Amino acid sequence: MPTYAWNPAQYLLRDKVLRKLGVIGESESGDPGQSSVVQDAMNSRMKELHTLGVLWWDVAAAQTPLTLTANTATATVVSEDFLYPLTASIDVASEQEPLEIISHAQYQAIPDKARTGQPEQVYFSGSVGYFWPVPATAYTARLTYQAIAENVDPTTRIDMPAAALRAFVDLVAGDLVDDFGLDSQKAARLVAKQPQAMRTLRMVAYQRVDSALVTPDYF
């Protein structure tokens, strides 16, 4: 029977990074100190790649309610895994009215930020949402947000597609050339692989959507 899934546990990826660095041999595993350094580097890179939008689709979006208080412009997202907002709405009677998520510049351009009424827009500064108009009464807002990639146990798989793993190992190995004191030539070779690794990661994570219809012009 054919098999398709392959995504090794994080401790196996750690050992691949250490072998790439020449720290351990083919049949060896890293010691606790070495493994801790690599694990920290993997988590740091994973968070960075996810925040930049390079690797995102393997981490699901989440939804949370926000309680809006009358005459209070702000509400805080309490979910620890909040990365950035995707959609927002408020409950009005039995309907959900959409809210426009605006930028810092757009919010600052609003001349009367103290105006009250039914909120129409929201600006997020970190985990704090600034609603405009300021809610005249209490509302419940519904926020869909992109969640942060988890730090998981080293015995479980990492939050990325299997096709990205080889490039990820190259990327992390390049980050650690100073930590493990590699000679300049080997360090240069590993660092030189990082730009191609980033390109590969971006291509693997590229979202496939329906192609737009293109109508050619005939002259």
pLDDT at 158: 80
> pLDDT 10s per residue in the chain (219 long)?
676 667 788 889 999 999 999 999 988 999 999 999 999 999 899 888 888 877 766 666 789 999 999 999 999 999 888 988 999 999 998 899 999 999 999 999 999 999 999 999 999 999 999 999 999 999 999 999 988 877 767 888 887 888 889 999 999 999 999 999 999 999 999 999 999 999 999 888 777 777 666 666 654
Q: Does some domain include residue 5?
A: no
Same domain, 155 and 140: no
Angle at 162 between CA 159 and CA 166, to 5 degrees: 105
Looking at residue 22, what is its pLDDT? 95
Domain end among 147, 170, 190: 147
User: Which DSSP state fits 24?
Assistant: S
Q: Is 157 left (phi over 0), alpha (psi -120 to 50) or beta?
A: beta
State the pLDDT at residue 215: 65
Do the domain assignments include residue 219?
no
Say if CB 33 and CB 176 are below 8 A apart.
no
Q: Give the per-residue pLDDT at 216.
A: 65
217 in a domain, yes or no? no
Q: In this structure, what DSSP letter does residue 80 have?
A: T
Domain count, the chain: 2
Range of the domain at 133: 61-147
Within 39-148, strands assigned E span: 61-68, 74-76, 82-92, 95-102, 116-117, 121-125, 128-132, 134-135, 139-147
| H or E segment and range at residue 106 | helix 104-108
| Residue 209, in any domain of the structure | no
Same domain, 136 and 65: yes
- Which of 117, 147, 177 is the last residue in one of the domains? 147
Q: Are residues 78 and 116 in the same domain?
A: yes
Q: What pTM, to 2 d.p., does this model score?
A: 0.71
- Together in a domain, 168 and 142: no
